[in-house]
Chain A
Amino acid sequence: MNVVQTDIGMSAAIAISGVKKHFPGVYALKGITLSIDRGEFFGLLGPNGAGKSTLINIIAGLTRCDSGSVSVLGHDVVRGYRRARRCLGIVPQELVFDPFFSVREVLRIQSGYFGLGRANDTWIDELMDTLGLSDKVDANMRSLSGGMKRRVLIAQALVHKPEVVVLDEPTAGVDVALRKSLWTFIRRLHQEGHTIVLTTHYLEEAEALCDRIAILNHGSIIALDNTQGLLSRGIGNKVHISITVTEPIPTLPATLMTNLLSTDGTRLEFRLDKSVDSIGELLRELGRAGVVIIDLHTEEPDLEDVFLELTRERAL
């Protein structure tokens, strides 16, 4: 499905401005302002309770914000809800389904809600084929496995060919094979011109798929950058070094103690800040202390390190 972008001058797929939401006893969102460009693959990360689903529900019109505004392709999600919803496909986090209907009925009904009649059946067939649902078209929703139900949810979100697709933890609880096939499918949607917004707990997923990432914590955006930028920010200068030596070392030079993370017999763990520390200097210091190195392993930070560091900093 190649997306036909109608409003060429409009760059924001989703524009969120000063959105606040308060539930009894908790401020779920504390004034979120964010713009997601058309054609972008955007990741929304955060620990449980960070406000990700609340934000997505507000974009979808399922929750109303206390103040601020959200628009999808320039259409306000409250005042211009019809147009906004036509532009938007939402894959909900929970495996919700209507037990009365078969897969084909569910998709036809969802298509009908968007004003699309039988002329859309070709697209429905294509979707079922692409998502591997062709042999389940007449199966009742109750009889499907969790993975199949997840595919139907994705098909339902795409049935009206929306330009912007929001996936709220689409790979939560699915097996590795299905996760990989969903990745491939989502990548294909993005290549075809869809704007993709993805929330996920799998940081590896966000790192592999997203162009840009926002990290939410306690209802606020604590980081917003492209994926590489996020990886190289502050924490991104850190490098983790594991060194295996021939025999346990009774005492290390005092200059190395500040970078030492742990020692375990013949294994030493160091963390260096590349902006001030040098791996070469570390190795020379170890050499001067008479240490014989038999193995060395360095590890660049991944998104998980960034995520943990940022959410931990805010919690302190």
Chain B
Amino acid sequence: MNVWGFYTLFYKELLRFSKVAFQTLMAPVVTALLYLLVFVHVLEGRIEVFDGVSYAAFLIPGLIMMSVIQNAFANSSSSLIQSKVTGNIVFILLAPLSIYEFLLAFVLAAVLRGVVVGAGVFLVGVVLVPLPVHSPVLMLAFVLLGSAVLGALGVVAGVTAEKFDQLGAFQNFVIMPLSFLSGVFYSIHSLPDFWQKLSRFNPFFYMIDGFRYSFFGTSDVDPVFSLAIVGFFFFVVAGASLLMLRSGYKLRY
């Protein structure tokens, strides 16, 4: 294994997003804060989703996980599409790196960006609203596994897309709706039966519901089941990424 090569690719990805930290780290935290202020201002006192949990407290874990999901996806996908469009992807393709080292480096960098953004939203959130922590282990597990799923999905999207427009479409028509309709702002128990059933086909729902459990000890579905579902999706998406990388799909023509 080319350990140093893998580490270098991982480090390069960290360096890339840290060089534009205002855009990649600060902006998502500010966006999440704006969601929090607006939704809490409108809905606070009108809705109590879980017994004894304010709407603001209910909302924060959802916003954290949504930020983690969107930024993990954005990291790997935008890095790959930029490299492909500008042509500098050749420097990675010419290197003696295996498909496993390639995928792991992109996924870990995505996880790290997701974790940093998530931690930022968490810190801003707890300043405004006191939050309990029921299970730090599950919290970490959902953040790491959830961002890994989206990091790998970002690799799939980044490899598949040939221009920014195609990636934008994937982001706006797949990632954004799935993350908004995953129970960030509500419990699926408040939805009509049909939409509740449909929500259970949304993998992001399990990430958010399980992550929220790690704060309040209450969730719509069993958190262990949610974790298993998220883990299953990771293997599916990572497997799809590896198959694409092995075949050279849209990378090695």
Contacts and interface: CB of A to CB of B under 8 A. Distances in A.
A172 to B, nearest CB: 15
A85 B12 contact: no
Interface in B70-121: 83, 86-88, 90-98
B11 A81 contact: no
A115 B5 contact: yes
Interface in B214-253: 248, 252-253
B152 interface: no
Contact of A97 (B2, B88, B94, B252): B88
A143 to B, nearest CB: 15
A113 B92 contact: yes
Given A64-B248, A115-B2, A99 B96 contact: no
A100 B253 contact: no
Given A63-B252, A112-B8, A96 B93 contact: no
Contacts of A94: 87
A117 B94 contact: no
Contacts of A112: 4-5, 7-9, 11-12
A171 interface: no
Contacts of B98: 82
Interface string A89-108: 01010101111110001000
Nearest to A80: B96
B176 interface: no
Contact of B96 (A100, A105, A113, A156): A113
Contacts of B46: none
B150 to A, nearest CB: 22
B15 A90 contact: no
B89 to A, nearest CB: 9
A152 B13 CA distance: 20
A86 interface: yes
B87 A96 contact: yes
A116 B4 contact: yes
A82 B2 CA distance: 9
B197 interface: no
B86 A109 contact: no
B200 interface: no
A61 interface: yes
B135 to A, nearest CB: 38
Contacts of B91: 96, 98, 109-110, 113, 156
A60 interface: yes
B8 A98 contact: no
A132 to B, nearest CB: 21
Interface in A110-166: 110, 112-117, 156
Contacts of A252: none
User: Which interface residue of A85, A97, A98, A113 has the most chain B CB atoms within 10 A?
Assistant: A113
A112 B98 CA distance: 14
Interface of B: 2-5, 7-9, 11-12, 15-16, 19-20, 83, 86-88, 90-98, 248, 252-253
Interface of A: 23, 57, 60-64, 81-83, 85-86, 88, 90, 92, 94, 96-101, 105, 109-110, 112-117, 156
23 contacts: A57-B253, A60-B94, A62-B93, A81-B96, A82-B98, A83-B96, A85-B95, A94-B87, A96-B87, A98-B86, A98-B91, A101-B15, A105-B15, A109-B8, A109-B12, A112-B9, A113-B2, A113-B9, A114-B5, A114-B96, A115-B3, A115-B4, A117-B4
